[in-house]
Amino acid sequence: MTDPTPENTSTFDAFAWVDRAVCGEPDSQHMMFPDPTNTVGIELAKAACRRCPVVDPCLDRALATGESHGIWGGLTPEERRQLKRRESRARSREAAESSSAAPVARQPWDVKPKTTMSIVPRSDVL
């Protein structure tokens, strides 16, 4: 069998990190979904995340799937929503800056010639 690594994407299990997660330990599973008003429970869950070796892929998964419950990657659902909004605004700013930073060179065929018409009465026609 091939080693499941990111380089070998045909066999890489995107959830291989789950087996190494601190919250996967028997005593930790229920603590990752504290009541949103339980600040002590939230801090305990975040403390578990701080000692977890797979906090980054955990957060990536929560952001990618829009996970709306529990502590994932060390963040509450509200903190994850705020992070997504900040990232979205940053991408929008970057796109706006990159489009305004490099003006498009105009080609000769893009320029319409200015035409001015002046009507001068001809005396020989009247």
* pTM recorded for the entire structure: 0.64
pLDDT confidence of 97, banded at 50, 70, 90?
Answer: confident
Q: Is position 52 within any domain?
A: yes
83 DSSP 8-state letter: H
In a domain, 50, yes or no: yes
Q: Is residue 64 part of a domain?
A: yes
Q: 74: alpha, beta or left, given left = phi > 0 and alpha = psi -120 to 50?
A: left
4: containing domain: 1-88
Instruction: Examine residue 55 and state whether it is found in any structural domain, yes or no.
Output: yes
Q: Which two tokens stand for residue 109?
A: 């065929």
- Grade residue 78 by pLDDT with cuts at 50, 70 and 90: very high
Mean pLDDT (the chain, rounded):
79
Q: Measure the CA–CA gap between 4 and 16, rounded to whole angstroms.
A: 9
Asked whether residue 33 is assigned to any structural domain, the reply reads yes
> Which string of DSSP letters, residue by residue, matches 11-50?
T--TTGGGGG-GGGSTTTGGGGS--TT-HHHHHHHHHHHH
Per-residue model confidence as pLDDT tens digits over 7-63: 444 334 677 888 899 988 877 767 899 999 999 999 999 999 999 999 999 999 999
Q: How many domains does the chain have?
A: 1
105 is a domain residue: no
Burial class (CB in 10 A: 0-12, 13-18, 19+), 46: middle
* Residue 21, domain member (yes or no): yes
